């Protein structure tokens, strides 16, 4: 499905072993009752066990031979085991995936900072929320936390699989660090933000484990539907007993139990929880930690996707590509002012300005200006700058902000500046205006590079019925240009954090479900408001708490995958349900004639599969019913392929495969098993 | 034979042609828009004023259901009083018909209260004219009105983008009677009188026949009751043999009119849904699904009845007219079979031939019509039943497009699924459970055939008689394999309870769902939503109904009619 | 409870007056405009009712055309069908007996010409009709008993055939009572 998903083999040895163990552990009726369909199969098996034992001591020809009853009992028991096994495999895989992540955070030494500067060596398992630790070059970060001081290069490959190191620093939106990652350079002070055992990963592991797993709303609804079907067929089977007596054809208990087990939706009943767990597992494989099963499900329903331009639509960050001065100022002086104004600008754009200036031979450095007054860039002022010792005030920022500043100081905005700004914006670049002493000085051109292939992805989303919205701090012209090129449906330009929030609320008011991704503290409210909020792992703790998923890769395009994983989960549920019910048609043609053929030989006409004998017909149906569960485990775990071809085509496609296929397959399967049983002389 | 086929094509064609404009009219009535019958308003307002009802008061689903149950309770008491005391009521009882036995009265009251009209009594000997007019015919109006009003509540619930107001049950009930049922009945009644259907309060007439026998001919105010019997999909006849009786269905014209009358409102309601919700394509989808189901049952039944009884063919006589046992020559096999299937898919249950004597597979199609219980259906309740299947189909198919399922912009969640599946299961439990109980009693009674005197026919057919009775009761249909000796306390009470429960459960459930959906957040459709008006969803819906129904009933049908058929053809 | 019952009771009474009383009264009034039709179209001969056009009568006399078998012996006060199942052995024996009886009474008729409605009971037990074939097969018997030319009888039947509605819809049939009345008049 995507480059992110790690393709593990479905069945590894240790997973199988764990799942086999689980198959038996889950036989506990107190556990089974959570799955009403399979619980009744377990009860049916118990009835058969008792009956078989009775038959051993007092044979009753009306109930069939001991061996035949024993065979049926064993197959029914296997049916239950297979269902448990399916759930077991899904759990084991999920756990294995989570464990492999957790391995990275095995007990590591930690340098606990105690009362001012002293360092105490402890183990990571002893860390508590609120502890302050020091991590130096070459050390492993012992737990999740937030950098409170310093900047460091960190290798996150253990978590994300991405080998390129990333920079994390105090303040700003890149202050989050994950336990298990390694500091490559510098040292940082980290505030521990989680209690042991409460990391998102720990929570995720709990979600895939049976014990504390909460069924998602849709899974509950489907369970109810399946329980309803089970009840229906229970009535069919129970009432058949007196009807058989009326027709002078008493039906053997083994036959009734077999009929019942074949009719109830055991296939979906046995695979339902595996499908749910596998959905979360797929998310995990995409390096997305979901805080609940519901979040994955909701992802499938998303109508509107809020995507940050940077990193999602465009590669990385904008880079400065040109300086345009607009008044008589010397070109080099202008560039120097531009560079100086960016010294306090920690955004990538700011850094790129210094770099560009350097390339053009003009170098400024922080230390030379360390006692001058910096104005940091904030999302509110959208300006940064510096007050030099000589009293020169340099400001740089979005054109509208700067324009206001110039006008407020009773200066004019030259026509030239306006046209440069427009030109840059129309070409999809971002103009940054610069003032010196509140007089218009010039414009810096920042340019975006749109990711290749992004248009196709948006088209795919459109076919899925998902509206894409680009969120950017750019001015409307630039935003429009990029939106058009990338093919998004809408954009929010010059976005302030509250704009995002308002947009989400508006969409939700008209009934839509909204997903967004965010990292910063000021994203937290919007992340909480969104129906699916994916926080980047590098983001602030607040953002991670607010969202309902965490992306370990910090990859903004991940949202698209999350939506597909959600859809796939739902489709798999629907398709296997359809398949399961469609299967009953063939089973009926196998079993019903077999039940009455003894007294009403004319019913042979209904034996369209021409099965050898009533005994072989019933046995074949029960065997098919049992075997189909393990045969579908790979499908349940991998999920039905999702193709964004529009709802109608998708429905037609899945109906043909799982509906029509579900009718046809068992005819073939039962006939083959019957042939095999006959050839081997078992019946 | 060709003219018999053209006859049924005419009936069906006319019914559908009239249903579209009539559906539009019904939708206008329920929306409270202007109609040409607005001159009824003063009368309706007088009714509301005298009863202390504010017709404009908007109620949620619970208040509406409460009102429905309350007035049905009043009708129940009224019916019991009238039927057990009809012998002493001096009015309109020229033939001196005595009081009904209590369990029979219970069965009869429930039967008419629930729009079932299963008749364990025979009209000409069991009910006085007073009972026929003041209880039976009255109930035929108001029970139909109840179903229609319930559907109007559902319409409102589905149309709402928010809020919990479903309308006012009393208002909808009265309007259903005054604006829809009553005017059409007067029109049809006039046609009937014109075609020699009696409308008299005189008692039975003594006749000395041509060859000199003396015989009493029962008559009565037949032309008043028959219009509402058909139009309200009640089915309870004035005379025992229902519309086979020459006074109840005098000629081919009345047969056409009666048959159209029973089809009219159920089909109109489909289009009314489309007009009300402004989703005509959705209505057409439902229409085609229902029609496909109806034709799937009707065509083979017509063919089989025209072919005649294979056992009689074997005797070497001509069966040009088809299987004629229990049928009338003026109606013919084709129109009898068509009527019979129409009557069973619609929960009408009036008969113009004796279903018990139909060839086995036709009898099976009649039963299937009631067991599937989703094709056209009774007035109002037909769409309500279909709604349950729509919920189930939306849930399964909705998942397959990768969204949590939604219907008309509202999410279908656990609560809705739970109600829908329980309503569906209830019908199956009542049919199979009821039949199993009867069969169990039969199995365990020594010399059952003689002791119980239930079954008019042996073996598989006898089984079908019992199955048919509970099927008919649960589907609120009312027709029967009338060979069954059903006027006994067991049958009176058991089928009475089944009728009662499976009348109100399938109304309360879906109306509750509509109430819940009404309050949910409205989600506009997108390219990713499943379109419920598409042909492919129609196929899903049809498959869900047929496959579930077939799975539930295949074993019993195999034991009953299928075995009988296979044994007959040898 | 009482508060809720009151409107329900009151509304019931009012609807009862409208639907149970006023409605049939209106139709009764309409019926008074067609007094003959609204009493079921009785056939009056010599000042007394000898039957109703649409209510079949029992004809056992050899000189009359016979109608269909009736499960209630044409008792118009308590009507009904046989409700016999198509495979019921007792029923099939009964049909066989009817065929045999018919052949005894109509010795000239070949078995394969007997139409099924003559040996099967109608739904109401009062079916006034038989098919034209059902009348034709009885000609030889009537002709012999009454000493009437067979051709004349054929013509009588032809004249009494009721065509399908507009010639397009429904069955072709003969009203036995009307046919027999016409037969009586033939002399």
Question: Which of A458-462, B315-319, C16-20, C131-135 bottoms out in mean pLDDT, i.e. has the lowest?
Answer: A458-462
Is residue B248 helix, strand or coil? coil
Report the C-alpha dihedral over residues A315, A318, A319, A324, rounded to 10 degrees: 140
B27 to chain A, closest Cα gap in Å: 27
Contact status, residue B317 vs residue C112, Cβ threshold 8 Å? yes
Task: Give the DSSP H/E element, type plus range, for residue C50.
Answer: strand C48-52
Q: What is the pLDDT of residue A2?
A: 39
Distance of CA C147 to the CA centre of its chain: 27
Of B198, B224, B359, the CB nearest to C24: B224
Strand stretches in B1-115, DSSP E: none
State yes or no: is A308 an active-site residue. Answer: yes
Please report where in the chains the tokens 């606990």 appear, as a residue.
A112
Q: What is the DSSP letter of C72?
A: T
pLDDT in tens, A588-598: 889 888 888 88
Residue B136 belongs to what domain range?
A: 2-569
CA A430/CA A424 separation, integer angstroms = 6
Residues in chain C closer than 8 A to B62 (CB atoms): none
Q: What are phi and psi of B229, to 5 degrees?
A: -55, -45
pLDDT band at B367 (very low <50, low <70, confident <90, very high): very high
Is pLDDT above 80 for A208?
no
| Lowest model confidence (mean pLDDT) among A269-278, A363-372, A499-508, B405-414 | A363-372
Tell me which residues of chain A, numbers 512 to 551, contact chain B at a CB-CB cutoff of 8 Å.
Answer: 512-513
Determine which one of A281, A301, A308, A674 is catalytic: A308
What is the reported pTM? 0.86
Q: Which residue of A has its CA nearest to B413?
A: A221
Q: What does the domain layout of chain C look like in residue ranges?
A: 1-38, 41-185
pLDDT > 70? residue A116:
no
The 3-class secondary structure across A603-618, one letter per residue, is HHHHCCCCCCCHHHHH
Interface of B with C in 461-480 (CB under 8 A): 461-462, 464-465
User: What per-residue confidence (pLDDT) applies to A378?
Assistant: 66
Q: Per-residue pLDDT averaged across A421-431, rounded?
A: 81
Separation in Å, CA of B426 to nearest CA in chain A: 9
CB contact under 8 A, B330 and C131: no
Q: Is A220 on the interface with B (CB under 8 A)?
A: yes
Interior CA angle at A627 toward A624 and A630, to 5°? 150
pLDDT at A3: 40
What is the predicted ipTM?
0.94
Domains held by chain B: number: 1
Q: What is the mean pLDDT of chain A?
A: 83
* A8 pLDDT tier (thresholds 50, 70, 90): low
Find residues 263-322 of chain B whose CB sits inside 8 Å of chain C.
Answer: 308-309, 311-312, 315-322
**Structure token digits, residue A155:** 């290798």
Q: Which residues of B touch C125 (CB under 8 A)?
A: 241
pLDDT of residue B263: 94
CB within 8 Å of chain C, chain B residues 230-259? 239-241, 244-247, 250-253, 255-256
Name the pairing type of β-strands A304-308 and A514-518. parallel
Q: Residue A226: what pLDDT?
A: 94
- Kindly provide the residue ranges of all beta strands, DSSP E only, lying in A502-631, ordered along the sequence: 514-518, 532-536, 549-551
pLDDT of residue A5: 45
- Measured CA to CA, the distance from residue A37 to residue A226 in angstroms comes to 7
Q: What pLDDT digit, counting tens, does each position of A533-552 carry?
A: 888 877 777 777 788 888 88
Q: How many other β-carbons are positioned within 10 Å of the β-carbon of residue A121?
A: 8
Number of Cβ within a 10 Å radius of residue A117: 7
* Residue A473 pLDDT exceeds 80: no
Do A212 and A147 form a contact (C-beta atoms < 8 A)?
Answer: no
Each residue's pLDDT tens digit, B421-465 = 999 999 999 999 999 999 999 988 888 788 878 887 778 888 999
Average pLDDT for chain C:
90
The pair of three-digit structure tokens given for residue C182, joined into one six-digit string: 């016409």
Is A633 exposed, middle or buried (CB count within 10 Å of its CB: 0-12, 13-18, 19+)? buried
**pLDDT tier at A4 (50, 70, 90 boundaries)?**
very low
Cα distance from B30 to chain C (closest Cα, Å)? 19
* pLDDT tens-digit readout, A345-371: 766 777 788 888 888 888 877 777 777
Give B158-204 pLDDT, tens digit per residue: 999 888 899 999 999 999 999 999 999 999 999 999 999 999 888 78
Neighbours of chain B (3+ CB pairs under 8 A): A, C
> A126-137 pLDDT, tens per residue?
778 888 888 888
| Structure confidence at residue A683 as a pLDDT band (50, 70, 90) | low
Which residues are bridge partners to A121 per DSSP? A111
Q: Which residue has the higher pLDDT, A566 or A169?
A: A566
Nearest Cα residue to A193 out of A204, A179, A181, A205: A179
Q: How confident is the model at residue A163 (pLDDT cuts 50, 70, 90)?
A: low
For A189-202, what is the mean pLDDT?
Answer: 74
The subunits that touch chain A, with at least 3 C-beta pairs less than 8 Å apart, are: B
Percentage of chain B lying above the pLDDT 90 cut: 61
Query: Given A301, A596, A659, which is nearest B558 (Cβ)?
Result: A596
Of the ranges A428-432, B187-191, B307-311, which is most confident? Answer: B187-191
pLDDT at A618: 92
Low-confidence ranges of chain C (pLDDT < 70): 1, 187
Cβ-Cβ contacts under 8 Å, B389 against chain A: none
Looking at chain A from residue 418 to 477, which residues have their Cβ under 8 Å from any Cβ of chain B?
A: 462-467
Rg of the Cα trace of chain A? 33
Report the pLDDT averaged over residues A593-618.
Answer: 86
Do the beta carbons of residue C55 and residue C76 sit within 8 Å?
A: yes
Number of neighbouring beta carbons within 10 Å of residue A361: 8
Segment B385-389 shows an average pLDDT of: 93
Closest approach of C76 to chain B, Cα-based (Å): 5
Give the count of beta carbons closer than 10 Å to the beta carbon of residue A107: 10
Q: Which residues of A510-523 are buried (b: 16+ CB within 10 A; e: fewer)?
A: ebbbbbbbbbbbbb
pLDDT at position A579 over 50: yes
pLDDT at residue C17, as a whole number: 92
The pLDDT score that the predictor gives to residue A1 is: 37
User: Mean pLDDT: which of A245-249, A377-381, C122-126 is highest?
Assistant: C122-126
């Amino acid at each position: 499905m995507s480059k992110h998903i790690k393709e593990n083999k479905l069945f590894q040895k240790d997973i199988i072993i764990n799942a086999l163990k689980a198959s038996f552990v889950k036989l506990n009726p107190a556990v089974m009752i959570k799955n009403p369909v399979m619980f009744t199969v377990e009860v049916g098996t118990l009835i058969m066990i008792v009956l078989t034992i009775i038959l051993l001591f007092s044979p009753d020809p009306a109930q069939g031979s001991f061996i035949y009853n024993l065979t049926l009992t064993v197959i029914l028991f296997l049916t239950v085991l297979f269902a448990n096994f399916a759930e077991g495999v899904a759990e084991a895989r999920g756990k294995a995936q989570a464990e492999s992540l957790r391995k990275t955070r095995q007990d590591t030494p930690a340098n606990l900072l105690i009362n001012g500067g002293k360092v105490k060596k402890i183990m990571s398992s002893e860390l508590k929320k609120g502890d302050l630790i020091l991590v130096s070059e070459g050390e492993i970060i012992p737990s999740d936390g937030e950098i409170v001081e310093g900047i460091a290069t960190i290798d996150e490959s253990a978590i994300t699989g991405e080998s390129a190191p990333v920079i994390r620093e105090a303040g700003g939106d890149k202050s989050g660090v994950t336990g298990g990652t390694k500091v490559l350079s510098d040292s940082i002070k980290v505030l521990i933000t989680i209690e042991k055992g409460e990391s998102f990963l720990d929570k995720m592991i709990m979600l895939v484990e049976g014990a504390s797993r909460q069924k998602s709303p849709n899974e509950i609804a489907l369970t109810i539907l399946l329980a309803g079907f089970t009840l229906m067929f229970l009535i069919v089977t129970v009432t058949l007993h007196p009807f058989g007596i009326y027709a002078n054809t008493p039906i053997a208990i083994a036959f009734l139990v077999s009929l019942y087990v074949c009719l109830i939706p055991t296939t979906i009943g046995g695979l339902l929880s595996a499908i749910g767990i596998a959905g979360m597992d797929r998310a995990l494989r995409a390096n997305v930690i979901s805080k609940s099963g519901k979040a994955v499900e909701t992802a499938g329903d998303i109508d509107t996707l809020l995507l940050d331009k940077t990193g999602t639509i465009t590669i990385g960050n904008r880079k400065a590509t040109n300086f345009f001065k607009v008044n008589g100022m010397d070109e080099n002086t202008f560039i120097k002012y531009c560079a100086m104004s960016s010294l306090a600008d920690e955004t990538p754009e700011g850094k790129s300005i210094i770099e560009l200036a350097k390339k053009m031979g003009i170098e400024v450095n922080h230390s030379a200006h360390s006692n001058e007054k910096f104005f940091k860039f904030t999302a509110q002022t959208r300006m940064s700058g510096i007050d030099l010792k000589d009293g020169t005030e340099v400001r740089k920022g979005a054109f509208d902000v700067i324009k206001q500043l110039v006008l407020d100081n009773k200066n004019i905005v030259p026509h030239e500046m306006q046209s440069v700004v427009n030109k840059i914006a129309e070409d999809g670049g971002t103009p940054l205006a610069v003032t010196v002493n509140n007089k218009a000085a010039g414009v810096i051109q920042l340019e975006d590079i749109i990711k290749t292939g992004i248009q196709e992805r948006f088209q795919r989303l459109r076919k899925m019925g998902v509206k894409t919205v680009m969120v950017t701090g750019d001015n409307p012209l630039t935003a429009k240009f990029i939106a058009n090129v990338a093919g998004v449906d809408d954009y929010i330009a010059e976005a302030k954090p509250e704009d995002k929030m308002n947009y989400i609320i508006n969409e939700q008011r008209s009934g839509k479900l909204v997903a967004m991704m965010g990292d910063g503290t000021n994203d937290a409210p919007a992340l909480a408001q969104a129906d699916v909020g994916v926080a980047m792992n590098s983001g602030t703790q607040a953002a991670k708490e607010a969202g309902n998923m965490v992306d370990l890769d910090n990859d903004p395009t991940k949202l698209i995958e999350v939506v597909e994983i959600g859809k796939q989960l739902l489709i798999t549920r629907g398709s296997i349900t359809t398949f399961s019910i469609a299967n009953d048609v063939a089973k009926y043609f196998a079993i019903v004639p077999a039940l009455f053929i003894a007294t009403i030989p004319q019913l042979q006409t209904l034996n369209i599969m021409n099965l050898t004998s009533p005994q072989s017909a019933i046995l074949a149906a029960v065997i098919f019913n049992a075997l189909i569960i393990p045969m579908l485990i790979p499908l349940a775990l991998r999920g039905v392929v999702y193709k964004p071809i529009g709802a109608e085509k998708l429905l037609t496609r899945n109906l043909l495969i799982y509906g029509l296929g579900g009718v046809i397959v068992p005819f073939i399967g039962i006939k083959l098993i019957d042939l095999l049983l006959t050839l081997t002389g078992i019946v | 034979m060709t003219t018999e086929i053209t006859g049924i094509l005419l009936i069906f064609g006319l019914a559908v042609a009239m249903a579209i404009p009539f559906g539009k009219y019904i939708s206008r009535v329920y929306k409270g828009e202007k109609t040409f019958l607005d001159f009824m308003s003063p009368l309706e307002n007088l009714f509301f004023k005298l009863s202390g009802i504010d017709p404009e008061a908007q109620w949620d689903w619970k208040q509406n259901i409460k009102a429905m149950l309350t007035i049905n309770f009043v009708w129940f008491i009224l019916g019991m009083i009238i039927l057990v005391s009809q012998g002493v009521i001096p009015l309109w009882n020229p033939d001196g018909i005595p009081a009904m036995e209590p369990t029979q009265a219970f069965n009869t009251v429930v039967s008419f209260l629930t729009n079932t009209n299963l008749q364990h009594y025979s009209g000409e000997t069991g009910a006085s004219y007073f009972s026929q007019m003041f209880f039976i015919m009255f109930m035929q109006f108001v029970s139909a009105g109840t179903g229609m009003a319930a559907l109007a509540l559902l319409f409102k619930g589905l149309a709402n983008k928010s809020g919990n107001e479903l309308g006012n049950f009393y208002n909808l009930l009265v309007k259903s009677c005054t604006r829809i049922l009553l005017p059409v009945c007067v029109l049809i009644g006039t046609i009937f009188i014109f075609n020699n259907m009696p409308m008299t309060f005189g008692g039975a007439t003594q006749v000395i026949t041509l060859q000199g026998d003396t015989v009493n001919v029962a008559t009565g105010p037949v032309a008043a009751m028959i219009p509402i019997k058909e139009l309200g999909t009640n089915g309870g006849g004035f005379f025992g043999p229902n519309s086979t009786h020459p006074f109840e269905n005098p000629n081919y014209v009345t047969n056409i009119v009666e048959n159209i009358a029973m089809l009219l409102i159920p089909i109109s309601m489909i289009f009314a849904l489309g007009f009300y919700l402004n989703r005509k394509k959705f209505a057409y989808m439902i229409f085609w699904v229902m029609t496909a189901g109806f034709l799937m049952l009707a065509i083979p039944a017509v063919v089989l009845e025209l072919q005649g009884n294979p056992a009689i063919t074997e005797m070497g006589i001509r069966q040009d007219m088809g299987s004629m046992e229990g049928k009338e020559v003026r109606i013919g096999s084709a129109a009898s079979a068509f009527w019979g299937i129409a009557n069973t898919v619609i929960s009408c249950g009036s008969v113009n031939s004796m279903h018990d004597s139909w060839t086995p597979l036709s009898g099976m199609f009649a039963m299937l019509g009631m067991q599937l219980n989703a094709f056209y259906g009774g007035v109002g309740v037909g769409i309500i039943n279909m709604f349950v299947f729509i919920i189930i189909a939306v849930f399964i198919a909705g998942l397959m497009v990768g969204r949590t399922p939604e219907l008309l912009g509202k999410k279908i969640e656990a609560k809705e699924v739970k109600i829908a599946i329980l309503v569906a299961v209830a019908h199956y439990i009542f049919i199979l459970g009821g039949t199993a109980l009867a069969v169990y009693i039969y199995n365990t009674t020594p010399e059952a055939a003689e002791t119980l005197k239930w079954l008019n026919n042996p073996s598989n057919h006898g089984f079908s008689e019992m199955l048919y009775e509970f099927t008919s009761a649960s589907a609120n249909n009312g027709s029967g394999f009338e060979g069954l000796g059903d006027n006994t306390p067991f049958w009176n009470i058991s089928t009475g309870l089944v009728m009662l429960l499976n009348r109100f459960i399938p109304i309360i459930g879906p109306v509750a769902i509509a109430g819940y959906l009404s309050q949910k957040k409205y989600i506009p459709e997108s390219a990713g939503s499943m379109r419920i008006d598409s042909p492919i969803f129609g196929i899903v819906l049809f498959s869900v109904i047929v496959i579930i129904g077939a799975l539930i009933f295949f074993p019993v049908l195999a034991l009953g009619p299928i075995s009988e058929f296979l044994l007959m053809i040898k | 409870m009482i508060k809720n019952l009151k409107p329900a009771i009151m509304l019931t009474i009012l609807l009862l007056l409208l639907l149970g009383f006023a409605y049939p009264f209106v139709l009764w009034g309409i019926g008074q405009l067609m007094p003959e039709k609204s009493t079921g179209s009785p056939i009056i001969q010599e000042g007394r009712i000898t039957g109703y056009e649409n209510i079949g009568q029992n004809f056992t006399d050899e000189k009359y055309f016979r109608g269909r078998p009736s499960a209630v012996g044409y008792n118009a006060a308590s009507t009904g069908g046989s409700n016999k199942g198509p495979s019921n052995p007792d029923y099939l024996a009964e049909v066989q007996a009817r065929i045999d009886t018919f052949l005894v009474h109509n010795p000239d008729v070949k078995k394969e010409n007997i139409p099924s409605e003559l040996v099967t009971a109608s739904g109401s037990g009062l079916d006034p009709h038989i098919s034209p074939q059902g009348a034709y097969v009885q000609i030889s018997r009537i002709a012999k008993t009454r000493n009437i030319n067979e051709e004349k009888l054929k013509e009588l039947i032809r004249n009494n055939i009721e065509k399908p509605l507009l010639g397009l819809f429904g069955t072709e049939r003969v009203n036995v009572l009307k046919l027999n009345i016409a037969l009586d008049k033939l002399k």
